[in-house]
Amino acid sequence: MDYFVLEQINSVQVGKPEEGVLLYKTDKIPELLNLDYIYIQGGCLVSNRLRLLFELYMPYNKWVMNAYINLDQSQDILKKADYDAEVAAVANMKGLNENEQKLKLDKFSAKFDKIRPELEKTQAVFWQLDVPEYIPAENTVFSDRGFVKTLCLNGDPPSPVFKIKSSGAPRVFSTIVHLSVAESMMRRKYLGVNLIRV
């Protein structure tokens, strides 16, 4: 088969992203900086580096930012940038319509980019990988943990990167990449992610 399932190697976990929330407080920045791929319930998060690769294969994919920051260690930098109020405000964008969210995010991103170099050691930016779901053939085999073990196709997958929901408990998603994407990943040596042929 010309497909591989992505597996998170390191055990660090982050909470499941919430709709409308972009910024999360964490004390796990050192661990997050050593990851390019994080499995979350229902999908995955990818680093800036891995997102750039996936964009080559899926130029129209929708990306949602998830920024993780150690607020305790970043207070001096944030205060110098007069950022306290905005950090609190941008952390929750629930209730805003799409245009309001975009305006707020653009303002946040423009200002955040100016202090990003100073926050390099206390923040990590990931992106939700929003890929189409694919329903494989019935004889696809799943592991005890619910991830794809042997993939059997049922027509062409919708894109070079897609996800498959397990057929039984536990109900988890496997992120699957085509051989061409897997080869590109192997050449670049991404951190914290394993490629398993299925």
Q: How many CB atoms lie within 10 A of CB 147?
A: 21
Per the model's pLDDT, the better-predicted residue between 32 and 94 turns out to be 32
pLDDT at 43 over 90: no
Helix (H) or strand (E) holding 141: strand 141-142
CA dihedral 38, 127, 54, 187 (to 10 degrees): -50
What's the Cα-to-Cα distance from 89 to each of 95, 111, 113, rounded to whole Å? Answer: 12, 14, 17
**Polymer length in residues for the chain:** 198
Q: Which pLDDT score is estimated for 9?
A: 87
pLDDT digits (tens, 9 = 90+) for 103-147: 777 777 777 777 778 887 888 889 988 888 888 988 988 888 888
pLDDT at 90 over 70: no
pLDDT at 187 over 60: yes
Q: Which domain holds residue 84?
A: 3-197
Across residues 32-40, what is the average pLDDT? Answer: 90
In 3D space, the residue among 148, 120, 122, 118 whose CA is nearest the CA of residue 133 turns out to be 148
Pairing verdict, β 37-40 and 43-47: antiparallel
pLDDT digits (tens, 9 = 90+) for 50-89: 999 999 998 888 888 888 888 888 877 777 777 665 665 5
**Total-model pTM:** 0.81
Average pLDDT over the chain, rounded to whole? 83
pLDDT at 164 over 60: yes
Q: What is the DSSP string of 40-96?
A: ETTEEEEEHHHHHHHHHH-TT--EEEEEEE-HHHHHHHHHHTT-HHHHHHHT--TT-
Total structural domains within the chain:
1
Q: Which pLDDT score is estimated for 116?
A: 76
In 3D space, the residue among 40, 5, 196, 69 whose CA is nearest the CA of residue 129 turns out to be 40
